[in-house]
A and B are shown apart, each in its own frame.
Chain A
Amino acid sequence: MKKEDEKLKRLLSENPFGVPENYFEELTGKVMESLPEKGSVPAHSRRQVLWTVMRPWVYVAALMVAVLLPLRYWTGQTADKFAFSETVESGLLTDEYIKTVIDDSMMDDYTLYQYLTDAEIDY
């Protein structure tokens, strides 16, 4: 076991990897040449910056839509209900309109009677 450890250590101490001639001597210069100018931000970074700035506003807008859309739907429905009851109260429902609605609902007289009785609508 000891012998194996020694062999592994020796093996690991060897460096089988080489580099081109003068690679490390020229490395700093080559890296410095490849650096972008500080002012010139790459396109993808510009997009990132724009997204970072816009992100809170996008979240707020999404939240507003998420809150206001169901609210508008609900208030819209309520408004419609009021509009309907106002129409009923003001007697704007003509006999012709009621006949059309009943015909379209395809209810027979018995079902209609049951429906009106359950709803306790007093005409």
Chain B
Amino acid sequence: MDTFDEKEIIGRLRKPETQKKAFEQLVAAYGRQLYWQIRRMVLSHEDANDLLQNTFIKAWTNLDTFRQEARLSTWLYRIALNECLTFLHKQQAVTTVSMDEPEVSLADKLEGDSYFSGDEIQKSLQKALLSLPEKQRLVFNLKYFQEMKYEQMSEILGTSVGALKASYHHAVKKIERFLGDSL
């Protein structure tokens, strides 16, 4: 990330002859953090991996639509989070048909995921996070795990800083209440 010069990368992304190499640098710079943000939303590694690939494919095919008013990372996060929300809505539609609670379905996936090593209290924590409304969960994850500033979050989600702070505060309270005696 130290060698990542956003202006220079944007310039190279605009030229067909340097575009692919610059995009490779972009993937190397943001792949990991985007993966973790997606993973904390969808929980399963396979789903997170698919959504990450889709995010970069969409970014690549829509490079011409990128406007320099936003930062590259903001733009990538916006695509990734849209992918996540679309995925979660599809999941919700499936679970509505099967009469299950959406968070139960995601938590079930966690049970069978070989890339999840959490104990019972960790599973409870994940269930507490899943009980939050999607956007509140997004805000909580971005703030807590990515340590993202509210200003950047506001650019990504199109929500005011005040509303984001309130959302985060509510999320923490709900998690504490959900876990209750477990803590």
Contact = CB atoms under 8 A, between A and B. Distances in A.
A19 to B, nearest CB: 6
A11 B52 CA distance: 26
Main secondary structure, interface of B, reads helix
Interface string A16-56: 11111000100110111011101001100100000000000
Q: How large is the interface on B (under 10, 10 to 19, 20 to 34, 35 or more residues)?
A: 35 or more
Given A4-B183, A19-B45, A31 B27 contact: yes
B183 A7 contact: yes
B77 interface: no
B40 to A, nearest CB: 8
Main secondary structure, interface of A, reads helix
Nearest to B19: A38
Interface stretch (B2-10, B55-63, B85-93): B55-63
Interface of B: 16, 19-20, 23-24, 27-28, 31-32, 35, 39-40, 43, 45, 52-53, 56-57, 60-61, 115-119, 121-122, 125-126, 144-145, 175-176, 179, 183
